[in-house]
Structures are given as C-alpha cells and as structure tokens.
C-alpha cells in the first residue's frame, strides 16, 4: 500500500478556557489517499472545524494540540517548528473557509494576491506566475480569467470570490485541501456549480480534500467516504454510499431519518430528541447516550471504534446489528 496523502492518528485538541477544558477534538483518526475526498460531517460544536484548523496548525491559544500525530506525505507535522510548518502550509496543505472575504485582502487585486501566494513558496518569473494564476482561475470556473486578475475582491460576487479563494488554495497543487463549509453561504445554484467543479479538480490534480459540512446531502454528492463527528469524536466512518444506506451509529441514522425528504410532506419528521451537548459537561460514557433510543447501562462506558473493513462505528448497540455489550 502506498503512503496516504494524510494520516491522522489520535488527534486531540483541547481549549483551556476559564470555564474549564474544552475537549474540542478528542482522539480523531483517519487516512486520506491521494485524490480522495472525505466528507467530515457534524453539527456546531462537534469539533469538525477545529479538526480542520488542527491539521494546518492554526489552533490559537487557549487551544492546543495535546496529543496525536498528523502525517502529511509521511512527514510528521505536530513536531515541526513554526517556520517549517509555515513553509508547508499553503504549499502542501491549504484551507478554504466559509467566508472568503476574510482571507482576501481588499486592497490588492486578485492577481497581486495570487502572485504573493506563489512568491511565498517558490521563485517564479512574472510571466510564468501570471500564466499559472490564469490557468487556475479558469480551472475553478472564472470566465475571462486574465482580465479578472486585475479586479479587486469586492468586484466579485460571493460565489466568484469563493472560487478565487479555491484557486489561491490550489496554486501550489497541495497534497491536501481542507474545505470548511465553503458553500454554506452560497446560493444552491452556485453551490451546485462549485461542487461539480471540485469533484473534477480532485480527480484532475490528485489533491486530496477534506470537505467539512453540516449538510449530509452536500458531502454525499462530493465525497467518496464520510466521517461523522459528534462531541469531538468520529462516531462513524465509512464509504459514503454504504454509510448512508446502512448507518450503524444511532446518531447517523437519526440525522438521515430526520431529513424532510424521508417523511411524507406535512407529517411529523423523525426527530432526535434533546440538544447538542456542551463540551464542558459531557456525559461520562457515550456522548450521544442521553439522546439515544438504544441507550442501556453499557453506554456509561466510552465505546471504542468497532472496525469492519472500511467501516467503523463507536457504539455498543449499532443499528441493524445485534452486537453484544462491551467485554
């Protein structure tokens, strides 16, 4: 087997706040092959965004990675110095965000910003740099790319701005792109365009992607495998189609069942009861137990990841299976 583009083992990121230690990411592990797209699904507070930030070493105090390993093309990132990490960030691993305005400088043209991004990591002639910028803008679906290089961020629509952010993130053909809800703020028609484009780009360039989203439908139309996060842990993972068709974790099953499309219009939806837990006061065992219909005494223990081929789940009572209590 070849070395995966990204290999994460036991990643644990905690925030040491006044009110207590927030275990935002608590033992997250996954592998990502070259050109593979993984959907990281979860609600607010599930740790999906902090996972993304941890991968790039962008967690700010009071948060820090307390444990775990992140291997990018075989290189361990967690032990790298700040400057060595910065040298890789943007070139080998990059990130796009929900709000592209936050990452674009309003005072520089798109062309200037892209050239600065290139110059940060390699020396390239002006002509070659411009050619690369034009090529990438065209690739992400910006019409008349060469002319648009002279435009400022505010002259682009929201969808186009996100495309520019994607183009900048892909300038150095990174091994891994972390996308944090990049289409959430966009209209569905624009979202559809970008999703299709990203699918093609991943196949073309071999860039592996982690697509973070709260929307199962969005990631399922893009990712070949999924990881579902709840309260800082991956509670279920597996190939997209299998996971959606036959979810094992009651939380995943509940999420799918609660979608309006799963119920006759006008009739009550299947709902998950309760509220998302506060990371400061998690139940001692399975974090989903208080909201779970299948909860038993066994659930006061923390369930370990049960692996079955490419699939895995953290549950003592997986849906559609008659697994016993923990030994």
Partner 1 sequence: MSAFLTIDNVSRLFGPKLNTGEKIAVKLGGKVETRSVRAVSDVTLSVSKGETLGLVGESGCGKSTLGRLIAGILPPSSGTVTIEGVPVMSNGKKVTTRVQTVFQDPFASLDPRMKVGETVAEGPIAHGLTTRANSKAYVAEWFERVGLDPVWVDRYPHQFSGGQRQRIAIARALAMQPDLLICDEPVASLDVSIQAQIINLFLELTKRLNLTCVFISHDLSVVQHVSDRVAVMYLGRIVELGPVAQVFGHPAHPYTAALFGSVPKLVLDADELVHFDTIAGEVPSPLSPPAGCYYHPRCPLASSGCRTAPPPTTPVSDVRSVACYHSDQQLDRAKRS
Partner 2 sequence: MSAGPSRLALFWAEYSENKIAVLALVVVVVMILLALFAALISPQNPYDLANLSLRDSRRPPGFVGSGGYTHILGTDPQGRDLLSAIFYGLRISIQIGLAAGFVSLSIGTTLGILAAYLGGRVETLIMRLVDLQLSFPAILLALVIVALLGQGKAQLIGALVAAQYAYFARTAYGAAKAERGKDYIEAALATPLSARLVLWRHMLPNCTPPLIVVATVQIANSISLEATLSFLGLGLPVTEPSLGMLISNGFPYMMSGRYWISVYPGVALIILIVAINIVGDQVRDQFNPRLRK
CB of 89 to partner 1, least distance (A): 29
Segment 155 to 184, residues that bind partner 1, using CB under 8 A = 157, 159-160
Gap between the Cα atoms of 238 and 327, Å rounded: 24
The distance from CA 176 to its chain's CA centroid, rounded to whole angstroms, is 11
CA dist 33 to 193, 228, 233, 266, Å? Answer: 25, 18, 21, 43
**37-41 vs 225-230, strand pairing mode:** parallel
Using CB under 8 A as the binding rule, whether residue 126 contacts partner 2 is answered as: no
The nearer residue to partner 2, 232 or 312, going by C-beta atoms, is 232
| Residue 189 touching partner 1 (CB under 8 A) | yes
Which listed residue (1, 2, 188, 309) binds partner 1 by CB under 8 A?
A: 188
Question: How far apart (Å, rounded) are the C-alpha atoms in residues 98 and 181?
Answer: 5
Min CB(81)–partner 1 separation in Å: 38
192 binds partner 1 (CB under 8 A): yes
| Residue (93 or 228) nearer to partner 1, CB | 228
The 8 Å CB, 24+ separation contacts for 82-86 are 82/57, 85/57
Residue that is written with structure tokens 């996972």 in the block = 51
State which of positions 217-256 bind partner 1 (CB under 8 A).
217-218, 220-222, 224, 240-241, 244-245, 251, 254-256
Look up residue 15 and give its two tokens.
């925030």
Residues 202 and 140 sit within 8 Å (Cβ to Cβ): no
- From the list partner 1, partner 2, none, pick the one residue 159 interacts with, judged by a Cβ distance below 5 to 8 Å according to partner type: partner 1
* The binder of partner 2 chosen from 1, 19, 107, 261 (CB under 8 A): 19
Residue 266 binds partner 1, judged by CB under 8 A:
yes
Torsion, Cα 5 209 146 108, to 10 degrees, reads: -100
Min CB(18)–partner 1 separation in Å: 15
The CA angle 58-60-66, to the nearest 5 degrees, is 85
Tell me which of partner 1, partner 2, none is bound by residue 62, counting a contact when its beta carbon lies within the kind-specific cut-off of 5 to 8 angstroms.
partner 2
Asked if 43 interacts with partner 1 (CB under 8 A), we say yes
Identify the DSSP state of 278: P
229 phi-psi bin (left φ>0, alpha ψ -120 to 50, beta other):
beta
CB of 155 to partner 2, least distance (A): 25
Own/partner pairs for 96-99, CB < 8 Å, 24+ apart? Answer: 96/162, 96/165, 96/166, 96/169, 96/177, 96/178, 96/179, 96/180, 96/182, 97/165, 97/180, 97/181, 97/182, 98/180, 98/181, 98/182, 98/184, 98/185, 99/185
Q: How far is the CB of 206 from partner 2 (least distance, A)?
A: 40
Per CB under 8 A, 21 contacts partner 2: no
In DSSP terms, 94 is beta-bridged to 177
Q: Which of 270, 278, 296, 321 binds partner 2 (CB under 8 A)?
A: 278
Phi (first) and psi of residue 6, to 5 degrees: -140, 130
Q: Does 119 engage in binding with partner 1 (CB under 8 A)?
A: no
Q: In whole angstroms, how close is the CB of 60 to partner 2 at the nearest point?
A: 9
- Tell whether residue 259 is a contact of partner 1 (CB under 8 A): yes
Is 44 a binding residue for partner 2 by CB under 8 A? The answer is no
Q: Kindly list the residues in this chain that would bind partner 1 in the complex (CB under 8 A).
A: 43-44, 157, 159-160, 187-193, 195-196, 199, 214-218, 220-222, 224, 240-241, 244-245, 251, 254-256, 258-261, 263, 265-273, 275-276, 291
Q: Kindly list the residues in this chain that would bind partner 2 in the complex (CB under 8 A).
A: 18-19, 61-62, 275, 278, 280-281
């Amino acid at each position: 087997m070849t070395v995966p583009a990204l290999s994460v083992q036991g990643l644990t990121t905690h925030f040491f706040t006044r009110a207590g230690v927030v275990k935002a990411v608590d033992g997250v592990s996954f592998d990502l092959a070259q050109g593979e797209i993984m959907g990281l699904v979860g609600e607010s507070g599930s740790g999906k965004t902090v996972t993304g930030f941890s991968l790039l070493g962008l967690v700010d105090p009071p948060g820090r990675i307390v444990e775990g390993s992140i291997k990018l093309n075989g290189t361990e990132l967690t032990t790298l110095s700040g400057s060595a990490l910065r040298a890789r960030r943007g070139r080998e691993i990059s990130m796009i965000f929900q709000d592209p305005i936050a990452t674009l400088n309003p005072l520089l043209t798109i062309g200037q910003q892209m050239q600065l991004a290139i110059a940060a990591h390699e020396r390239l002639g002006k002509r070659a740099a411009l050619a690369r910028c034009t090529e990438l803008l065209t690739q992400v679906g910006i019409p008349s790319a060469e002319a648009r290089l002279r435009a400022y961020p505010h002259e682009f629509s929201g969808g186009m701005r996100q495309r520019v952010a994607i183009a900048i993130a892909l300038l150095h053909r990174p091994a891994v792109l972390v996308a944090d809800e990049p289409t959430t703020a966009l209209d569905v028609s624009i979202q559809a365009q970008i999703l299709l484009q990203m699918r093609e780009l991943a196949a073309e360039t071999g860039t592996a992607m982690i697509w973070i989203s709260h929307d199962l439908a969005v990631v399922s139309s893009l990712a070949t495998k999924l990881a579902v996060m709840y309260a800082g842990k991956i509670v279920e993972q597996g190939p997209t189609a299998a996971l959606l068709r036959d979810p094992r974790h009651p939380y995943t099953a509940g999420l799918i069942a609660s979608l309006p499309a799963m119920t006759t219009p006008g009739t009550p939806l299947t709902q998950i009861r309760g509220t998302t837990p506060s990371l400061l006061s998690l139940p001692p065992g399975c974090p989903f137990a208080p909201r779970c219909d299948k909860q038993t005494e066994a659930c006061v223990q923390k369930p370990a990841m049960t692996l079955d081929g490419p699939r895995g789940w953290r549950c003592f009572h997986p849906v559609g299976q008659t697994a016993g209590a923990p030994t």
